[in-house]
A = this chain, B = another copy of it.
């Protein structure tokens, strides 16, 4: 397969998906979105993988849709297909079993910014920047804003959408679009440290937790408590919770069965 989406195995538990088409700034073309969706599904199904990292090759993280391709598509049903596919990728990240971390070393624009927002965690270099610039080309960032507006408050979101202007890493952290930023030299090491920490937890616990998290967010308070109480009971009846609590009380490291 001749793909611009590469999977790099960092260790037995952590894998990185590389957006690797630097000449288009890792654009999210039909082909790349399809391959990204496949890569995400593959790693999500791999029982050994515990954490997924997404990063870009070359100068930027991702410039979003490929505008040359977009221009060529012309027909309404093709556009609908493209935006549906892009939404599918983002939903796979949110609804998948494994934590996904965005590692951003350069520009994350439009659907690229959406990708960062869709990940559970995001870290960047100090020099990285983020934008929803669709308004500049007459095409409002309507699907990207679904992800971004669920992470940051509305006034800063509207400024990004209406002006199309990029924001810097320190402001992106301030408003909650990314978790933190580091110097170029340190980003790799810091992301790996966090990925390893998360990989040291129980697979099953994190699967239950992640999926419950996004579900309860869409429920009113009473329903959210009913749902999470039920899921926490399910979690409690699993081997890993029993082992984790025993280990804690016995002051030793837990040994996860990951099931």
**Chain A residues in contact with chain B, CB under 8 A?**
67-68, 70-71, 76, 79-80, 83-84, 86-87, 90-91, 94, 99, 120-122, 134-143, 145-146, 149-159, 161-165, 175-179, 194, 197-198, 201-202, 204-206, 208-210, 212-214, 216-218, 220-222, 224-226, 228-233, 235-238, 240-249, 254, 256
Contact = CB atoms under 8 A, between A and B. Distances in A.
A84 B222 CA distance: 11
22 contacts: A68-B249, A71-B242, A71-B246, A79-B233, A83-B229, A90-B225, A120-B162, A121-B155, A122-B155, A135-B201, A135-B206, A135-B209, A136-B248, A138-B205, A138-B245, A140-B208, A140-B212, A143-B232, A145-B216, A146-B224, A162-B198, A162-B201
B155 A176 contact: yes
Contacts of A198: 162-163
Contact of A154 (B135, B150, B220): B150
B164 A201 contact: yes
Copies of this protein, total: 3
Contacts of A157: 213
A137 B228 contact: no
A140 B87 contact: no
A179 B206 contact: no
A142 B221 contact: no
Contact of A161 (B209, B249, B254): B209
